[in-house]
Amino acid sequence: MALLEVRNLKIYYFTRAGAVKAVDDIDLDIEKNETLGLIGESGCGKTTAVFAFLRFVTPPGRIVGGKIIFEGRDIIPLSDEEMRLLRGQGIAMVFQGAQNALNPVMTVGNQISEVILEHESLTKEEAWERAKEQLELVGIGSERVKNYPHEFSGGMKQRVMVAIATACNPRLLIMDEPVTGLDVIVQRQLLSLTNALREKMRLPIIFITHDLSVIAETCDNVAVMYAGKIVEQGSAVSLYKDPLHPYSKGLIGSYPSVRGEKKELKSIPGAPPRLIDPPKGCRFSPRCSYAMDICRTEEPKLKNMGDNRMVACHLIK
């Protein structure tokens, strides 16, 4: 049994103009020792989906269907209190490095120890010591435990976020675009930290990004999302070597390779569809250079190609 099983998840935003089908019937599996990368362009629904794993779907959004089964339990029907206990300690999240993701008037030590104090029965002093350990773990000296967030740089703030998220040894960690907006050197530091966590703590991670090169560094498997649907899934290596879905092909193709031959960068023409009224059939068909008639009328289902590969495309038999 997988650690997290997502089945037929549908999340719609109900606006005056209509229902925006942000996440439309997706399936995902994450195993206990797996790092899954979730890739796709802005607005494809990846953030909405993972927010749902923490049940952070706020109105006008609503989960309209499907199951999210964590450790054998569907978390959608859980009560608010049960869900609250799960957050931070069962499933934890590191957010995009926004300026304000940390409370400016609380010391980082307090921000780490408060999650420990909430979920475990330690004394204040013990929690404080653990907070110091967490800071060491992420590569920040423990003497900085009394500092305030504004005294840290962007990269260090992200590491504090990781310290907070891993403080209670969660069974699943979600990282939402954790390195977006950081400069390359800081990115590198954060990614090696993530890899160290994977190995040391054997922590399963869902890693969201729109940056392919980052996925290559950290993920075992990858799921590609487009317009609210998962169009391809497989191991990271096989996706790079041999992308099957035309969208994945376009993504891989649009990345310049430092080592490879010099060739023209291909970008995918067109723009992602409006999700209020998605195109009939395959959602990628308007931009797909291989589109056939059937692509415009019938929506392709995610097919298991064997050997840990799944694709939703009429082209692939």
Query: Tokens for 45?
Result: 């629904």
Task: Name the burial class of residue 2, with classes exposed (0-12), middle (13-18) and buried (19+) by CB atoms within 10 angstroms of its CB.
Answer: middle
Distances (CA, A) of 315 to 55, 154, 216, 289, 300: 36, 44, 26, 12, 9
Residue 82 CB, nearest approach to another protein (Å): 11
Residue 88 binds another protein, judged by CB under 8 A: yes
Site string for another protein, 49-78 (x = CB under 8 A): -----x-x----------------------
Which residue lies nearer to another protein by CB, 172 or 224?
A: 172
Which residue lies nearer to another protein by CB, 104 or 306?
A: 104
- Among 95, 191, 240, 299, which residue interacts with another protein (rule: CB under 8 A)? 95
Residue 102 binds another protein, judged by CB under 8 A: yes
Residue 127 CB, nearest approach to another protein (Å): 13
If binding means CB under 8 A, how many residues of this protein chain bind another protein?
Answer: 34
| Near another protein in 164-193, by CB under 8 A | 164-165
Buried b (16+ CB within 10 A) or exposed e, 202-240: ebbbbbbbbebebbebbbbbbbbbbbbbbbbbbebebbb
Which residue lies nearer to another protein by CB, 119 or 159?
A: 119
Task: Name the burial class of residue 132, with classes exposed (0-12), middle (13-18) and buried (19+) by CB atoms within 10 angstroms of its CB.
Answer: buried
What residue ranges in the chain does DSSP mark as E strands? 4-15, 18-30, 35-39, 61-70, 73-74, 91-94, 172-176, 205-209, 221-226, 229-235, 303-304, 309-311
Distance CA 87, CA 36 (A): 19
Stretch that binds another protein, among 70-78, 79-87, 135-143, 258-266 (CB under 8 A): 79-87
Residue 123 CB, nearest approach to another protein (Å): 17
Residue 152 binds another protein, judged by CB under 8 A: yes
Distance CA 212, CA 251 (A): 8
Which residue lies nearer to another protein by CB, 92 or 203?
A: 92
Residue 118 binds another protein, judged by CB under 8 A: yes
Residue 84 binds another protein, judged by CB under 8 A: yes
Residue 114 binds another protein, judged by CB under 8 A: yes
**Is the Cα torsion angle 177, 180, 184, 187 positive or negative in sign?**
negative
Distance CA 213, CA 113 (A): 34
Residue 227 CB, nearest approach to another protein (Å): 23
Site string for another protein, 3-32 (x = CB under 8 A): -------------x----------------
Instruction: Decide if 234 contacts 255 (C-beta within 8 A).
Output: no
Where does this chain bind another protein (CB under 8 A)? 16, 54, 56, 84-89, 92-93, 95, 98-106, 114-115, 118-119, 147-148, 150-153, 161, 164-165
